[in-house]
Amino acid sequence: MAITVLIVDDSKFFCKRVGTILNSASDINVIGVAHNGREAIDKAKSLQPDVITLDVEMPIMDGVTALKEIVKVCNAKVLMLSSLTYGNAKITLDALDAGATDFLLKSYESLTSNSEDLIKLLQSKIRELGQAKTFRRAPTYKAPISKAQTQVSPQAVKPLASRNTNASYTAPHKAPKKSYKLLAIGASTGGPVALQKLLMPIPENYPYPITITQHMPGTFTGAFASRMNGLCQLNVVEAEDGMSLKAGTVYVAPGGKQMVFEGTANSARIRIKPTTPRLQYSPSIDITFGSASKIFSGSVLGIILTGMGADGTEGSRLLKSCGARIWSQNEASCVVYGMPMSVTKAGISERELAIDEFAPAILKEIR
């Protein structure tokens, strides 16, 4: 059965062109078009499509406002279409938190030039979302605030272990079961929300650095890091070339580039390298995990979260061959059970966990 699609955009040219591209695939059927958020809500309710492509910026009602109503009347997977600006990146991340499944960069130039790459990308993205799961929940995001603003006088500070937080960690008095130097995480479709759930309970005195390799374009990774920094107890930054890895800091690989490491396990630095056309993903989980295996050897806990495809499998294989541990997200909690399935079927993943189980398991692992 064909995947049914509702296209929502204020540009008639865009709707017509996207409709032509999608309808050229035998397994995709565009069943409706809407030109503003209000019309999108009505058509989503009446047509009940499998997938909705939703523009961020529209008259009468914008995409995010419309999305919040669409998720109440329709169980469709929603693909946000956004231009490559920092402002739109922040709005798109809000949309993912409000119930959108994924996003795609909007390019009138590529549509006009009849780019084969864009045609393949758009059709494959719709197929991917046609197979994805829909998770609806109340938004959890609040505007980022400076961590310095939350500081109080030393006399008022309680030991972290006694604070009323989602989770607390007290440095162990005895050596952990396994010696770690790095927590490395890879994610794709569904990753921004999954990472939020995984990292928010981790306390600020987590004793190792954490790296995130999330498939995301360049402008978006900076906005994503800023958003996560406002949500997490940990310090979250977009990785820059030459940064030293520090305990309790999360480093988000910049989009459009590759993140690798140099130095030693006890004194490692991040190197940001240009990507190459032969690599499907930038950043690539395989590249980052593979580099981690050379610097940190077996002192890594690698985690593969929700996402399409198999990126991370070979990098995880290299890590595991050095003695590292690999965990993966279970099918029930994945938006797309692709990357986790790949490492599991390959016999690389040692544990499959629901997304809400990762933080407690990580903290227990290092005790």
Domain count, the chain: 2
> What is the reported pLDDT for 83?
76
Question: Could you tell me the CA-to-CA distances from 254 to 61, 176, 232, 288 in Å, in that order?
Answer: 32, 32, 19, 12
Active site residues: 188, 215, 311
Q: What is the pLDDT of residue 134?
A: 66
Is 157 within a domain?
no
State the CATH number of the domain containing residue 343: 3.40.50.180
Domain boundary (81, 111, 131) is at: 131
What pLDDT is stored for residue 275 in this prediction? 93
Q: What is the mean pLDDT of residues 129-155?
A: 50
Mean pLDDT over 225-237 rounds to 97
Containing structural domain, residue 32: 3-131
Question: Mean pLDDT throughout 299-327?
Answer: 97
Per-residue pLDDT tens digits for 276-303: 988 999 999 999 999 999 999 999 999 9
What per-residue confidence (pLDDT) applies to 146? 45
Q: Nearest to residue 66, comparing CAs of 93, 22, 36, 24? A: 36
Task: State whether 209 and 337 are in the same domain.
Answer: yes
Of the listed ranges 107-116, 119-128, 214-223, 255-264, the one predicted with least confidence: 107-116
Would you list the DSSP string of 131-195?
HS--------------GGGG---GGGPPPGGGS-SS------SS--SS--SEEEEEE-TTHHHHH
Between 110-114, 219-223, 234-238, 339-343, the lowest mean confidence (pLDDT) is in: 110-114
The per-residue pLDDT for 112 is 67
Q: Give the confidence band of 119 by pLDDT, cuts at 50, 70, 90.
A: confident
Q: How confident is the model at residue 117 (pLDDT cuts 50, 70, 90)?
A: confident
Residue of 182, 186, 181, 195 whose CA lies nearest to 287: 186
- Provide the pLDDT for residue 174: 44
Instruction: Tell me, yes or no, whether 94 and 181 share the same domain.
Output: no
Q: Are residues 185 and 195 in contact, defined by beta-carbon separation less than 8 angstroms?
A: yes
273: pLDDT confidence band, cut at 50, 70 and 90? very high
Residues 17 and 111 sit within 8 Å (Cβ to Cβ): yes
Residue 150 has pLDDT above 70, yes or no: no
Residue 232 scores a pLDDT above 90: yes
- E strands along 215-309, which residues? 235-238, 249-252, 257-264, 267-274, 300-304
pLDDT above 60 for 142: no
Any idea what the CATH number is for the domain that residue 110 is in? 3.40.50.2300
Neighbours of 210 (CB within 10 A): 26
**Predicted local confidence at residue 111, as pLDDT:** 67
Does residue 172 lie within any of the structural domains? yes
State residue 6's pLDDT score. 98
**pLDDT higher than threshold 80 for residue 367:** no
The CB density around residue 136, as the number of other CB atoms within 10 Å, is 9
**Average pLDDT value for the chain:** 87
CA gyration radius, the chain: 21
**pLDDT given at position 131:** 83
CB 144 within 8 A of CB 231: yes
Instruction: Confirm whether 144 is domain-assigned.
Output: no
Residues pairing with 237 in the sheet: 251
Q: 170 Cβ partners below 8 Å, 6+ apart?
A: 159, 160, 161
Least confident of 83-87, 239-243, 360-364: 83-87
Greater confidence (235 vs 134) lies with: 235
Is the domain of 193 the same as that of 244? yes
